[in-house]
Structures are given as structure tokens and as C-alpha cells.
Amino acid sequence: MILPKTDLYPRPRARNLELPGQQGPAAFRESTQMTRLRIASTAAILAFLAVPVALPAWSQDKASPKAASSDKSELYQQLNLFGDVLERVRRDYVEPADEKTLIENAINGMLSALDPHSSYMTPKAYKDMQVQTKGEFGGLGIEVTMENGVIKVVSPIDDTPASKAGILPGDLIFALDGQPVQGLTLQEAVEKMRGKVGAPIKISIRRAGKDPFDVSLTRETIKVKPVRFRLEGGDIGYIRVTSFTEQSTKGVLEAVEKLKKEAGSKLKGYVLDLRNNPGGLLDQAIAMSDAFIEKGEIVSVKARKNEDVQRWNAKPGDITGGLPIVVLVNGGSASASEIVAGALQDHKRAIILGTRTFGKGSVQTIMQVTGGGAIRLTTALYFTPSGRSIQKEGIKPDIEVEPAKIETIQQRSGFREENLRGSITNPNDKPGSAKPEAKKDDKPADKKDDKPAASQTTTPSAGDPDEPPKEAVSDYQLLRAADLIRGISLYSNRGN
């Protein structure tokens, strides 16, 4: 979950550092030179690390002046240590090291040690992130996180190289072009997966229950179309949201209006598909939830201090007009997807169907820092309207439905009542009305007709407006969702 922000904490004041004792002219010159370099290094760190340095003072608002002074003294001792190590690396490492890279890696190490979602972004990475949230970027089309030193796939994005190659949520990427990812930060691994459009890359994957295998992909310009929709079976509005970018809520609103016009009075409800949706912008999750909820809280965000709580409430209006909604989720539904699913579930506005979601309940704030880069820092946890935190828990569906493959089984012909010899005529039949042709089903079909008969059993449903289209048959969870909406609609109509 990303909450854009550019506010910076104030820079700390300059502070004198301890100097080593004098040990003769030569020692003095060497010691003084090292000290100057150390002071220069530490001063650079203080300027570059303006945000982290100010944090201890910010967190000690209620502490005594003596305790705050002690904490600051210890902090500067640690920074002095850092400056000493940095200078030794600059002077004694076997090969010349780039100072800027050393400091950036140190900052990233500090942040990534906090949690899997905090990190430092170089100016280029920060720019790429801004482009990505607008819905277009270059790469493989895969949302990832870091787990035990390897890259874990949260979800592939629809119609991207990763999705087309069969990459699945939960896959572990342990090597890129034959080079282990162990030791890389998440941002470094992401940058390696991105590259020039058309350039190939080989990723090595571990998948549960299978031996490790390699997948060769070609980088493409990833244009994320966050919302897709279609009419299922002539009466169910299907809306697929792949990510929460700046265009997501607008796309859902347009989808609902077009589905209303296309289906007219036959529209029975909506399926909102958030499966394999890795999340995105917080404001988009709030706006999308608001579109379906009449009133009440959507989500609350609680920061470090108990009093730092933000709440967002729904405005009157439901774009669906109160029609039933089923939300599809799975283990790839994370962050913003979980906010939407949790809000609709707590308000009993939708039925959540599928499997347990990813369980990312934290909010990251993007803070621009000196040099044009930015830090992505976890600053809060979010809670559903009922006060639930889904951190490491996820959203548990109301109806748990695992993915499954289904197939049409041809029924044995000739065993209906109307096919039996001497069966009693239906008293409602009018004289002269057409009767079922029992002769064709009376005898077992010839072997040469078996295949045509089997193919005919799958084609009638394609033209039946009350049945889902052929492509939906392979999506068991979607089929269950559509059947559930039709059942709710049927029951509601009978009650009226």
C-alpha cells in the first residue's frame, strides 16, 4: 500500500566529533588526515540521512532532556563508527569503491532490515515508481517481495510476459540469468528484472511440489490496463481489477455504466475479481470501496503514536443500485485489494469468495530525500471497519472455494421418462403438439456417432443466455460466483 508523501524531517544541527590523541608529528598528520576524512564522511552521512537522524528526537517527545541527550550522544557515536568504517573501506578495500553507491547501499540495508516493504529508491528507481503508479512501465509484469533472501512472486499482471509464461503467485525466484539473487536487495533484484524492451532474461524458479526450473522471458513495455469487464451469460457483470493505479476507480465506474446499458433489466449482479491483484494506491482503494458502500467507515490507518489515526468514511450512493456483489480473492490479492474486500465484507455489502488473501496490512509512505531519491518507509498499519488488522492474517473468504478444473460429462442417452415405451402422456400437452423424438435415443448410438454427440453436448450452452460463456467454464471460482448471484437474485424475486 503506497501513500505518497514528500514531507521531510528537519536536518540535525552540526555536532563536534571526538578527535584521537596526538602521538608524534607523523602519527599526528596521519591521524588528523583520517579524522578529517572521517568528519567529512560523517557530515555527508548526516546530510544524506536527514530523515533517519531526526527520528530518535521525534520519538522522544515525552522523554526527559537528560534521556534525550543521552540517546543523541549514542546515536552520534554510532554515526562516528559508520564514518570510520566507510573511510576504511575507501582507503583499504582491494578495489576502488564508489562512495555514493556505498552510502546508498548502507541506507537500503538499514531500511530493508526493518521489514520486507521498506527500502531506499535511487533517483532512477523513484522515477520508475512514479511511472508505474500511472499505469505504464517496462519489465516483465510481475509483482514481487523478498522472503528469506529470495524473491517471492506476489502475483503476475494480466497479459504480460510473466503471466503468459505461467508464473504463479508463491513462486520463488532464486536466480536471474544464472546469477543467484541471494544477497541482493529487493530493489536491486527488481532493477535486474527490468531492462531494455526486447531484451531476454532467464529466471530460475522453485515451485512447491516441483523441481526447480528455468523460464525464459522477453522484456516488454508493460501497459497496465487496470480494469477489464464483460457480461457473463447475459446477466452478470464481471469486472476484473488487476492493480490500483490512478485510473482504477475511474475504470470501474465506467465498467458499471456500460454493463448496465448492455444488460438492461436482465442484470442480476456483479462479480468484482481481485484475484492476483497486488494492490497499489491507498486513495484508489478508498474511492473504489466508496463506490459500493452507502455509509460508514471504509478503513482506518494507525501510525506509531496512538493519537495518529486517520479514518475514511463512505459518501452516500451505491453505483450498483444495491445489486448483489461477489468479490473473488486469492493468495495473490494484497494490500489495496484487501482493503476493498475487507470493507465490503465488514459492511455485508458483498460476499467474499475464493481463498485467503496475502495478508499485507501495512502502509508505506514515499518520502523524497536529498539527491533526488526517496525512501519507502512503513509508517502505519491499516484496519478494516470492524477494527481487524489483516497483517499476516489476510481476508478470510465467506465461502472458501479452491481453484479447480471442471469438465462436462456426457450423460447416457435414452433414460428419460419421455423415451420409455408406453409412458403416460402429459395431461398438459395439447393435441397435435410435437413430441420428443424417442427413436433416436431409443437405441444406443453407433460408435461412429460418439464424437459428434460429445461435441454437441458442449455447444448448446454457448448460445444459451442463461449459461456462462465457454471460457468461464474453465474458471471454477467465477462459475461459482455467477451461480451464487443468480441464486440470490432468484430468491429475492420470489420473496417479492
CA distance 456 to 441: 14
CA distance 264 to 323: 13
Q: What was the pLDDT predicted at 132?
A: 67
Q: Which residues of 442-466 are buried (b: 16+ CB within 10 A; e: fewer)?
A: eeeeeeeeeeeeeeeeeeebeeeee
| Residue 258 annotated among the catalytic residues of the structure | no
Name, in order, each residue with C-beta under 8 angstroms of 124's C-beta and a sequence gap of 6 or more. Answer: none
Indicate the SS3 state at residue 120. Answer: strand
Same domain, 297 and 244: yes
* Residue at grid coordinates 471454477: 476
Grade residue 324 by pLDDT with cuts at 50, 70 and 90.
very high
The string of pLDDT tens digits covering residues 431-477 is: 766 555 544 444 444 444 443 333 333 333 333 433 334 444 579 99
CA distance 470 to 406: 12
| Residue 70 annotated among the catalytic residues of the structure | no
The string of pLDDT tens digits covering residues 7-48 is: 333 333 333 333 333 444 444 444 444 444 445 555 544 444
Q: What was the pLDDT predicted at 451?
A: 38
Same domain, 243 and 142: no
Name, in order, each residue with C-beta under 8 angstroms of 79's C-beta and a sequence gap of 6 or more. Answer: 42, 45, 46, 53
Same domain, 203 and 312: no
In a domain, 458, yes or no: no
In a domain, 83, yes or no: yes
Name, in order, each residue with C-beta under 8 angstroms of 142's C-beta and a sequence gap of 6 or more. Answer: 153, 155, 156, 157, 160, 162, 167, 193
Q: Identify the weakest region by mean pLDDT among 44-53, 109-118, 155-164, 318-327.
A: 44-53
Q: What was the pLDDT predicted at 206?
A: 93
Name, in order, each residue with C-beta under 8 angstroms of 149's C-beta and a sequence gap of 6 or more. Answer: 181, 182, 183
CB atoms within 10 A of CB 469: 15
Write the DSSP string, 127-171.
HHHHHHHTTEEEE--EEEEEETTEEEEEEEPTTSHHHHTT--TT-
CA distance 234 to 259: 10
- Say which CATH number the domain at 182 has: 2.30.42.10
CA distance 154 to 156: 7
| Residue 346 annotated among the catalytic residues of the structure | yes
Query: Per DSSP, what are the bridge partners of residue 328?
Result: 273, 353
Q: Domain ends where: 400, 432, 460?
A: 400
Q: What was the pLDDT predicted at 49?
A: 44
CB atoms within 10 A of CB 433: 8
Burial class (CB in 10 A: 0-12, 13-18, 19+), 7: exposed
CA distance 278 to 242: 8
CA distance 214 to 230: 35
Q: What was the pLDDT predicted at 134?
A: 63
Burial class (CB in 10 A: 0-12, 13-18, 19+), 300: middle
Mean pLDDT of 51-63: 39
Q: Domain ends where: 347, 371, 400?
A: 400
CA distance 231 to 239: 9
Q: What was the pLDDT predicted at 210?
A: 92
Q: Identify the weakest region by mean pLDDT among 394-398, 408-412, 486-490.
A: 408-412
Q: Percentage of the chain with pLDDT > 70?
A: 74
- Say which CATH number the domain at 357 has: 3.90.226.10
Cell of 134: 500511472
List the catalytic residue out of 118, 163, 243, 335: 335
pLDDT, averaged across the chain: 80
The string of pLDDT tens digits covering residues 197-219 is: 888 999 999 998 899 999 999 99
Q: Identify the weakest region by mean pLDDT among 102-106, 411-415, 428-432.
A: 411-415
The string of pLDDT tens digits covering residues 206-262 is: 998 899 999 999 998 877 788 999 999 999 999 999 999 888 999 999 999 999 999
| Residue range(s) defining the domain that contains residue 192 | 138-223
Same domain, 245 and 373: yes
Same domain, 173 and 47: no
Same domain, 233 and 306: yes
Nearest Cα neighbor of 164 from 128, 227, 217 is 217
Same domain, 249 and 186: no
The string of pLDDT tens digits covering residues 260-299 is: 999 999 999 999 999 999 998 999 999 999 999 999 999 9
Q: What was the pLDDT predicted at 446?
A: 45
Domain count, the chain: 3
Grade residue 65 by pLDDT with cuts at 50, 70 and 90.
low
- Edge to edge, the sheet with strand 351-354 lists 227-232, 236-241, 269-273, 325-329, 351-354, 399-400
List the catalytic residue out of 273, 290, 346, 475: 346
Same domain, 172 and 264: no
Mean pLDDT of 99-112: 92
Q: Domain ends where: 38, 72, 97?
A: 97
CA distance 430 to 275: 52
Same domain, 218 and 231: no
Higher pLDDT, 471 or 362: 362
Same domain, 368 and 271: yes
Q: What was the pLDDT predicted at 413?
A: 66
Same domain, 239 and 251: yes
Q: Percentage of the chain with pLDDT > 90?
A: 51
Same domain, 274 and 194: no
Judge whether residue 110 has pLDDT over 50.
Answer: yes
Q: What was the pLDDT predicted at 137?
A: 63
Report which listed range, 99-113, 116-130, 435-449, is most confident.
Answer: 99-113
Judge whether residue 164 has pLDDT over 70.
Answer: yes
The string of pLDDT tens digits covering residues 124-147 is: 888 877 776 665 567 898 888 888
